[in-house]
A and B are shown apart, each in its own frame.
Chain A
């Protein structure tokens, strides 16, 4: 948990007074200000409907803010070519979002292919990232997503997000649909992987122990606004009422384990 990521002064991702309204004029995110540091794992924690996924999708322009400014690597998103921006950012979601008509190999190789890497390099990279996420390439390369377990699909999803070695990773409840044992296994492995890779990660979760385990910092969200950003230790000590249920749940769980 305690880790000193390679941080530089300029934030990797920055939200300045961002607002997002739906076409039906519902405000899903208001006056959102957040700076994600290089190499940190920022956990977006909050109940459903609090705006976590919305803020994540604003980063890779799956959604366009109604107001305010977002920048990635110091450049405002309007200045980025949207395709380049997205290839600069890995994206992993629940259930993996894998292409059902592609094998594991083809799923993972897609972005490097679009980036016109030489075939030899792509093959090597696919083997490398599959190994990284704990899948034996010989065994899994040729399989289709429907021939994998939920946990394996999730690993492939992560491998695909890492394939072109993007500096930034966005993860939307990537372990949410897994059974508890597989989930904690994957959390642990992801944590170890991140120690080596030091990506800038924005990670959406509603699971407080996941947030405390994986996060460099925790951004607590509620009803479309940011309540505060805390280091895990600070989070447990805060008296923000919105944090209360999470802290209580965590304490209760700790007590169960201690007794």
Chain B
């Protein structure tokens, strides 16, 4: 197995370089768009829950429920839907966004709720408006936790996106499914290795960002 992994340059990937690159690009597109959507929806939703905690059970509950549906089943279930099922990548992005939402909503909510009460109280007493409190105090102090949520979601999405190939949405899963069908490990690894590298890079980059954004603190 190890030999296989370190041998890959000479085998499949080099020969199919342009196809690998195309699939990497597709994969990045799927993950990038899904994550952008999940952040655009998840962070505001998390903030909303801190303001209206009564909605917390419903939103987080629904989301946890979605997480329990196996990805392959969710892709299949969504396929017959009119607009969504019309294009495979659209459907894949929709499903990946759903999966990525939970950690982002949850971490945004927790990050803000956990801001030290005296700090929030002092800010309010100093005459910050609700919006100033959010932007100047709550979000900066929660940024660390929110970014951790985004990181978890991104890494998971890179992996999950390989399954999108099953419904023809492209991405590195193409190689994995093809390799499985051909019973050829080289082909499977041509999909799996770039996906793993992508996940690790995303992890590294987001950890770096986390360190840059959250300044000197305890």
Binding site for B on A (CB under 8 A): 60, 62, 83-87, 89, 91, 93-101, 110-111, 114, 144, 146-147, 160, 170
Contacts and interface: CB of A to CB of B under 8 A. Distances in A.
A15 to B, nearest CB: 18
A91 B218 contact: no
Contacts of A144: 215-217
Interface of B: 116, 118-119, 121-129, 132, 136-137, 140-141, 214-218
A146 B123 CA distance: 18
Contacts of B125: 60, 62, 86, 89, 91, 170
B121 A62 contact: yes
Contact of A93 (B122, B129, B132, B137): B122
Contacts of A99: 119, 122-123, 137, 141
Chain B's interface: helix, strand, loop or mixed, by majority? helix
Mostly helix, strand, loop or mixed at chain A's interface?
A: mixed
Given A86-B126, A111-B126, A114-B128, A97 B118 contact: yes
Contacts of B140: 101
Contacts of B124: 62, 86
Contacts of B132: 114
A99 to B, nearest CB: 6
Contact of B141 (A60, A83, A100): A100
B218 A83 contact: no
Given A86-B126, A87-B126, A97 B121 contact: yes
Nearest to B128: A114
Given A99-B122, A100-B217, 20 more contacts: A60-B125, A62-B121, A83-B127, A84-B127, A85-B127, A86-B124, A86-B125, A91-B125, A93-B118, A93-B122, A96-B122, A97-B118, A110-B136, A114-B128, A144-B215, A144-B217, A146-B216, A146-B217, A147-B216, A160-B126
A80 to B, nearest CB: 11
Nearest to A56: B125
A125 B167 CA distance: 64
Given A97-B118, A99-B137, A144-B216, A111 B127 contact: yes
A84 B216 CA distance: 32
